[in-house]
A and B are shown apart, each in its own frame.
Chain A
Amino acid sequence: MDILLRQVGYSYAVDTPFEKRALTDVSLHIPSGSYTAIIGHTGSGKSTVLQHLNALLKPTEGAVIIGDRKIEAGVKAKNLRDIRRQVGIVFQFPEQQLFDETVLKDIMFGPLNYGVPEEEASRRAHELVEQLGLPKEVLGKSPFDLSGGQMRRVAIAGVLAMDPEVLVLDEPTAGLDPRGRREIMDLFHQLHIQKGLTTVLVTHSMEDAARYADQVAIMHNGRCVVTGEPGVIFADEEQLGDYRLEPPRTVRLQRHFEARTGLKLDGISLTEEALAKNIALALAEGRDSE
């Protein structure tokens, strides 16, 4: 499902002394099936953009087009539930949304709200718990008896259970330990490919954006300033610096290596594995040529 933001502006608390502009003239196209990373400094407007993707916020200027629905500033939009079923959001620290007596019921909450039959919802819950690497027993437990990492997974399962076509992730691994972080990001990537999802990742981690995304958008002071392929965006250190961002660590190490040895690697390395391979290759070639 395509999502298109057309010259979107958004202000909080319009017409009060507390009015605050959050977005100005944001245009962004999220093609169906893409993995888009939205990066930017804290307060750049990333989370405000995110809430427009399933009409939790309605633009105060411009329009958001989600699939075949158009949400326009000043026009009353009806029946947003359909949009919200198709666009699932995993908020930051999603374990805060858990409430039901058992993990099973909590995961089934979303699908049941959207009219999925009970049996089907339960089947999805069972499947997801397994997919997320949780033991089956947790289904009968209270979500509040689980460890932090497990609660996170249950909350994610609760969103995935709605079977969304678009999955929006807001810093989904914040606060997890390194192993948990890697496992969850890999899982989202796997789902993205298996189910042909459209994925939007809002993140502070340039490394995650470089590793997983095929499109990167930079937010700065409420504007979407650049969109492009990660290979291009992360190669332009000057531009990143303008927006108070740093290139991923792999790119920094690559530059460091190139400066020191005078060798030039092919393109830029977006993952650690690629960087290792590229360096080994460059060194082998460099030595051959001498």
Chain B
Amino acid sequence: MMEKMIFGRFIPGDSLVHRLDPRAKILFVFLFIAIVFVANNAITYGLLIGFTLLVVFMSRIRLYFLVNGLKPVMILVIFTFLLHILFTREGAVLLDLGFMSIYEEGLRQGIFIAIRFLVLVFITSILTLTTSPISITDGIEVLLGPFKRLKLPVHELALMMSISLRFIPTLMDETGKILKAQMARGSDIGSGPVKERIKAVVPLLIPLFVSAFKRAEDLATAMEVRGYRGGSGRTRYRQLNWRFKDTASLLVLVALAGTLWYFRS
């Protein structure tokens, strides 16, 4: 289940979407989130779906993987859809089951909310699937740059984020290894009553914490020895490059917003 989950993962590639500046992509996603709320009828939601599919197509990520990988999120979508159908009581009655009825407005709302949810999840996933975590961190650090004046520790936050990202695969591997070692010793995580399961997590968590602390300590030593003394006086190795296509991508979004505004009812 977890290994199929693609939310938050990165698939390297060379599509136009991959090559955009991370700052452009982050701004794109935030703008898109705002724009989604402009849609309010069949045409505008249709346009949103079309636009989303276009972005997916341009990222050259296979739709199949996207749909397959986002299955856990689908459950949430279906759930909200059902909620709207069951609890909205406006418009004509479409179906009368006696103990409850389905109204026209409920169905409409349900479908729209589901679409809104889906396009948002798709576009956000495209951001993380096409941008390496470190580029996202770089983008965030630069975008948050102005907040340094307000004493927000932007550099430290970005470094923390990039180190956490760097260690996620390492710690995932380690979790798998310890889990297997304890399973080999007869520990049974994932079956039996809840109380037993909680007890079974201890032999997994303690070694994991011990090792994470050890790693943190080693890492701190290595960083100190390599001359790390906080953000001041540091130069940056990674440089971001804003090009015309980045501006263009945001202009496309503005155009989309205009079109939606024109067609909304």
Is A–B contact present in the complex under a CB 8 A cutoff?
yes
- Mark A residues whose CB is within 8 Å of B: 12-13, 15-18, 51, 54, 56, 81, 84-85, 88-89, 91, 94, 96-100, 109-110, 113-114, 144, 158-159, 162
Q: Beyond A97-B207, A109-B203, is A159–B6 a contact (Cβ under 8 Å)?
A: no
Q: Beyond A96-B178, A99-B203, A99-B207, is A16–B65 a contact (Cβ under 8 Å)?
A: yes
B4 touches A96 (CB 8 A): no
B211 touches A16 (CB 8 A): no
| Cβ of B68 under 8 Å from chain A | yes
Which residues of chain B from 170 to 186 have any CB-CB distance to chain A below 8 Å in the complex? 174, 177-178, 180-186
- A159 to B187 alpha-carbon distance, docked (Å): 12
A15 touches B68 (CB 8 A): yes
The 4 lowest CB-CB distance pairs between A and B, nearest first, are: A113-B186, A99-B206, A110-B185, A97-B181
Closest A residue, CB atoms, query B186: A113
A96 touches B185 (CB 8 A): no
Within 8 Å by CB of A16, from B4, B186, B202, lies: B4
24 contacts between A and B (CB under 8 A): A12-B3, A13-B4, A17-B6, A56-B184, A81-B186, A81-B188, A85-B186, A88-B184, A91-B177, A91-B180, A96-B177, A96-B181, A96-B207, A97-B178, A97-B182, A97-B185, A99-B203, A100-B203, A110-B186, A113-B185, A113-B186, A159-B184, A159-B185, A162-B185
How many A-B contacts at CB < 8 Å in the complex?
Answer: 72
B181 touches A113 (CB 8 A): no
B185 touches A158 (CB 8 A): yes
- A80 to B202 alpha-carbon distance, docked (Å): 21
CB distance from B51 to the nearest CB of A (A): 23
- A100 to B203 alpha-carbon distance, docked (Å): 7
Q: Beyond A96-B211, A97-B178, A158-B185, is A16–B206 a contact (Cβ under 8 Å)?
A: no
CB distance from B182 to the nearest CB of A (A): 6
Interface of B is mostly: helix
Contacts of A99 in B (CB 8 A): 202-203, 206-207, 210
Contacts of A96 in B (CB 8 A): 174, 177-178, 181, 207, 211
A84 touches B184 (CB 8 A): yes
Which residues of chain B from 54 to 81 have any CB-CB distance to chain A below 8 Å in the complex? 62, 65, 68-69
Closest B residue, CB atoms, query A13: B3
Query: Looking at B11, B68, B174, B186, which has the most chain A CB atoms within 10 Å of its CB?
Result: B186
- A125 to B211 alpha-carbon distance, docked (Å): 25
CB distance from B127 to the nearest CB of A (A): 16
B6 touches A56 (CB 8 A): no
- A51 to B207 alpha-carbon distance, docked (Å): 20
CB distance from B208 to the nearest CB of A (A): 9
- A85 to B184 alpha-carbon distance, docked (Å): 7
Closest B residue, CB atoms, query A161: B185
B65 touches A162 (CB 8 A): no
- A99 to B200 alpha-carbon distance, docked (Å): 12
- A159 to B177 alpha-carbon distance, docked (Å): 15
Contacts of A100 in B (CB 8 A): 203
Q: A56-B183, A91-B184, A96-B178 are in contact. List 15 more A-B contacts (CB 8 A).
A: A12-B3, A16-B6, A16-B69, A17-B65, A18-B9, A54-B184, A84-B183, A91-B180, A91-B181, A94-B181, A96-B181, A97-B181, A98-B207, A99-B202, A158-B185
CB distance from A50 to the nearest CB of B (A): 10
CB distance from A53 to the nearest CB of B (A): 10
Contacts of B207 in A (CB 8 A): 96-99
Closest B residue, CB atoms, query A158: B185
- A134 to B185 alpha-carbon distance, docked (Å): 21
Contacts of B183 in A (CB 8 A): 56, 84
- A109 to B68 alpha-carbon distance, docked (Å): 40
- A273 to B252 alpha-carbon distance, docked (Å): 77
Closest A residue, CB atoms, query B4: A16
- A97 to B183 alpha-carbon distance, docked (Å): 11
Contacts of A91 in B (CB 8 A): 177, 180-181, 184
- A99 to B178 alpha-carbon distance, docked (Å): 10
- A128 to B40 alpha-carbon distance, docked (Å): 72
CB distance from A124 to the nearest CB of B (A): 13
